[in-house]
């Protein structure tokens, strides 16, 4: 079996072939690195390619197999990590000048679990600076391009991770989702993206944006791949006080159980807010589930539309607090000045890009005396209304269905002049972050330009099992040409 063909066959096939000695991890990682080398000048998925580290990890996996040991559930699987996860000995930038040369002294919990699972980390992926954005155009080191059409964005903030899977560099990757930063780029790149229940995956070692919203999840070419990757990182972690005290869920074995008798609600409030192709894909997905035995009906949940304005007060407020640590004193960039106040101001002005500065200012204003109740307090009330609306809906339905994004992938520069237009990219994904519930985006259609369109399955807290069963049925019903990998860019027309 050639390493090249194995790389495209998925996580289970890779791990099985490595364990049995049918293939070598060392050969597989060379194939993955060759693909990265061939495409990176065009796509820029990675901030750092960790070739030497990946080769050493592959040698260790092959040696373990040679001793008759099981290297783990991701044995020999090449993966990529969003560059906001602390990785010992590897520069971790958050795509920001303020952390351009910072090397963490420890592995985050997710990184440590992936190493223990036998995964081969081939690099750290590009993102919107500090995960603030929906297009990866806010990276301080240049944007990532969409493998389907390089004149278009891959989404964000986890655009590098989604594009790396869509380009066939790696079968799975990992990102973080604060307001849709896994699901939105998954939809735009034609891959599967899972945002777990808040607390299912440890945030220890994830560089914080908005702590009550951030969650690490997985990308995969298929639902099965993304699910297996999620299983490897989930489970309780005493280092994270918000971690749910439950073992990692076992989900891959139940993916084929189908949807017979499940109650599915199609959230109609989003359908007139999104492009016709996105609305049509969601309606077609509901019909596909009905044909597979589910009971589908439309449901109005108007509180879902409160999510966007509430999020863009809550998240900047938390970012204002979290990013106060970048002061030029403890670590990261330092720009000297005549006194501490000037040094701090110069450091932050030089180190943070315009979108990060904008959100810090919004958040600081919302938390300031005289405005706290009017803005932050009201946003938290809207968050509570959203949670209650979800709770009510889940009394009637097992899962909910919605568009993932308001549009397919848009062109570079199309939304950068109007931040509100960019923020609207998160309209359909934000409610699940506010509630802490799981959600998954599945490729389901192509638009008139041949670009992928995802649909989103939403479930109550800890409802990943039924959510992913629904996702697997949708995947089987979708046309095969609406998902990656795209081996070689479809277009080289740059914006």
Could you give the residue numbers annotated as active site?
A: 82, 157, 181
Strand segments (E) across 101-176:
120-125, 172-176
User: In whole angstroms, what is the distance from residue 225 CA to residue 219 CA?
Assistant: 8
User: In whole angstroms, what is the distance from residue 218 CA to residue 234 CA?
Assistant: 11
The pair of structure tokens assigned to 311 is 């999020």
Q: For residue 183, which of 209, 151, 161, 198 has the smallest C-alpha distance?
A: 161
Question: Left if phi > 0, otherwise alpha if psi is -120 to 50, otherwise beta: which for 332?
Answer: left
User: In whole angstroms, what is the distance from residue 95 CA to residue 100 CA?
Assistant: 7
CB atoms within 10 A of CB 436: 19
Query: Is the peptide bond preceding residue 272 cis, with omega within 30 degrees of 0?
Result: no
Query: Is the peptide bond preceding residue 493 cis, with omega within 30 degrees of 0?
Result: no
Residue 262 contacts residue 394 (beta carbons within 8 Å): no
User: In whole angstroms, what is the distance from residue 279 CA to residue 447 CA?
Assistant: 11
User: In whole angstroms, what is the distance from residue 59 CA to residue 168 CA?
Assistant: 22
Residue 214 contacts residue 176 (beta carbons within 8 Å): yes
The C-alpha angle 196, 197, 199, rounded to 5 degrees, equals 110
Q: For residue 268, which of 306, 301, 290 has the smallest C-alpha distance?
A: 301
DSSP-derived secondary structure letter, 458: E
HEC profile for 344-389? HHHHHHHHCCHHHHHHHHHHHHHHCCCCHHHHHHHHHHHHHHHHHH
104 in helix, strand or coil? coil
CB atoms within 10 A of CB 420: 9
Residues in the chain: 495
């Amino acid at each position: 079996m050639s390493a090249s063909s194995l790389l495209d066959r998925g996580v289970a096939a890779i791990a099985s072939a490595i364990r049995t000695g049918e293939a070598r991890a060392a050969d597989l990682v060379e194939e993955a690195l060759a693909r990265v080398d061939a495409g990176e000048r065009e796509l820029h998925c990675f901030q750092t390619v960790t070739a030497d580290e990946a080769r050493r990890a592959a040698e260790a996996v092959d040696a373990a197999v040679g001793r008759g040991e099981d290297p783990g559930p991701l044995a020999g699987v090449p993966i990529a990590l969003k560059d906001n996860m602390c990785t010992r000995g590897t520069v971790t930038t958050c795509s920001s000048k303020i952390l351009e040369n910072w090397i963490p002294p420890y592995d985050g919990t997710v990184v440590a679990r992936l190493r223990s699972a036998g995964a081969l980390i081939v690099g750290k992926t590009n993102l919107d600076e500090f995960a603030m954005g929906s297009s990866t155009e806010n990276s301080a080191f240049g944007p990532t391009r969409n493998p389907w059409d390089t004149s278009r964005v891959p989404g964000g903030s986890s655009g590098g991770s989604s594009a790396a899977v869509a380009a066939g560099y790696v079968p799975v990757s990992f990102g973080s989702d604060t307001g849709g930063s896994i699901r939105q780029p998954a939809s735009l790149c034609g891959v599967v993206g899972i945002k777990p229940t808040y607390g299912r995956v440890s945030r220890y070692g994830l560089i914080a944006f908005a702590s009550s919203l951030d969650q690490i999840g997985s990308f995969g070419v298929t639902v099965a791949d993304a699910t297996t990757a999620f299983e490897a990182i989930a489970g309780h972690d005493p280092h994270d006080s918000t971690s749910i005290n439950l073992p990692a869920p076992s989900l891959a074995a139940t993916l084929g159980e189908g949807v017979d008798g499940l109650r599915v609600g199609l959230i109609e409030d989003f359908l007139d807010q999104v492009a016709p192709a996105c609305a049509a894909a969601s309606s077609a997905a509901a019909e596909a589930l009905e044909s597979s035995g589910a009971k589908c009906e439309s449901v109005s949940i108007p509180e879902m539309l409160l999510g966007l304005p509430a999020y863009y007060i809550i998240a900047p407020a938390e970012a204002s607090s979290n990013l106060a640590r970048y002061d030029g004193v403890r670590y990261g960039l330092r720009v000297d000045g005549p006194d501490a106040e000037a040094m701090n101001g110069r450091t932050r002005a030089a180190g943070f890009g315009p979108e990060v500065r904008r959100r810090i200012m919004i958040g600081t204003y919302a938390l300031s005396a005289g405005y706290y109740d009017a803005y932050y307090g009201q946003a938290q009330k809207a968050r509570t209304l959203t949670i209650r609306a979800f709770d009510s809906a889940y009394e009637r339905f097992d899962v909910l269905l919605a568009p993932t994004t308001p549009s397919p992938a848009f062109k570079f520069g199309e939304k950068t002049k109007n931040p509100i237009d960019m923020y609207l990219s998160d309209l359909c994904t934000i409610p699940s972050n506010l509630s802490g519930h799981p959600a998954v985006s599945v490729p389901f259609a192509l638009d008139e330009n041949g670009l992928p369109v995802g649909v989103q399955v939403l479930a109550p807290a800890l409802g990943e099992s039924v959510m992913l069963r629904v996702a697997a049925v949708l995947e089987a019903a979708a046309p095969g040409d609406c998902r990656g990998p795209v081996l070689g860019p479809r277009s080289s027309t740059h914006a």
